[in-house]
Structure 1
Amino acid sequence: MGDSHAAAFGEGCFSSGTAKATLGTGCSILMNVESERKSSAKGMVSTICWSIEGRVDFALEGVIVTCGATIEWLKNELGIISDSKETEAMAIAAGSNNGVYLIPAFSGLGAPYWNMKRKASITGLTFISNKNHIVRAALESIPYQIKDIISAMETDTQIQLQELMVDGGMTANGFVMQFLADLLDKPVISIRMPDVSALGAAYLSGLESGVFKDIAHIQRLQTDRKQLNPSADTVKVMSDYQGWQENVYQQ
């Protein structure tokens, strides 16, 4: 299996509207659209999610060019953090983004914008802005980009996201994970398996060889799931997201 597809199977993207996001240097998002291939008008890739004898599930995939790499840039080039683990507390200490947005177009913007000529930018700075606001803006840019891709997929397919499974290094950041759940207004789930692609390949192999009876058998094995639910009040998050959209589509 391909890396992203194996991760989707390992995470448990077994039904329509389930999706996974691998948050590494970049980010790969893949959403199961079940038995009918869907085309995208918004720059997503149509692909096979996974297949077994007698069943093929299709998917849309979108790729974010810069995800965790933004945090590395803050550390290595700006020097405003010494360790990525500091960022969660700094973002919370900021209280809000204070109108600051970081567009991480260091190598252009991937799905769903596909503007490879765009340059990175930080907007909304005032005299009361500090490094905490910049760090928070960098972290917020990750959920914002995921939201943009999920929304595009929902528009393309008329299938609503049910839940988002996550893996990769950025899942250790509690601020990012809660912000993502609030922004999507859907559960965000981690099965806390670092080698989830290998797990997915093993699951599929086990199905073929008879180690696992069926997909329901595999689902019963997935007991170590950490689930984050949306907060009761997501109005402020959605207001901040409007500011992101106003900035990300500016040239």
Structure 2
Amino acid sequence: MTDDTAGRVALVTGGSGGIGRAVAERLAADGLAVAVHHAGNAARAEETRSAITRSGGRAVTVGGDVADERAMAAAFDAVEEAFGGIDVVVNTAGIMLLSPIATLDLADLDRMHRTNVRGAFVVSQLAANRLRPGGAIVNFSTSVTRTRFPAYGAYVASKAAVEGMTLVLARELRGKDITVNAVAPGPTATPLFTEGKSQEEIDRIAAMNPAERLGTPEDIAEAVAFLAGPARWINGQVLFANGGMA
């Protein structure tokens, strides 16, 4: 903990597993009190909360559909009641459904955009109105906006929208001392990435960056901690955390 992090509070959406859990634990290690958000898997969120408290940190769990403005307003209320305010919001919540554009089930398109686009918008809107001065909003995009892998078209479209709203919001918050950035991970060793892929495909993608490995959730959490804490002069940017893949 440093003077810069003492007393600060973070809300991590999608904090019950994968990258979200790594982010929650990394911010807690920096001394922030953390609210671990889940969209339904309360047990996994509780595992993350327990891991943080066992390490001497402060954490609570909150639930709600990120695309439901009332549910998320209640989640923000709960965090403020527990810790007195919110300084950092990290929006890792998202889903990825892969298909060629020509054959994508439009129901999957709607489902993905509801979580990835509307959800990011709802959370960003609440954060813009409720974060304390000196705060930071960190949204999540994807490095596939550059690598342009086939079958990722709808997912990339949702994340390109997140990038766009992030960059605009940074400028709209002029004078409020709140930074707004996005992290764009490359392929990361989480179930979101590995599910449905053969080991051969995973190995091929891992070999595409100079380090010849997949990223880890902890790699991505380091980038988030940077933007959430000391990186006050970085604002309105997309940070590509992909090991040099693109």
Shared fold (TM-score, shorter chain, > 0.5)? no
User: Which of 1 and 2 has greater Rg?
Assistant: 1
| The structure with more strand, counted as a fraction of residues | 1
Q: TM-score, normalised by structure 1?
A: 0.33
| The structure with more helix, counted as a fraction of residues | 2
Larger relative contact order (CA 8 Å, sep ≥ 6): 1
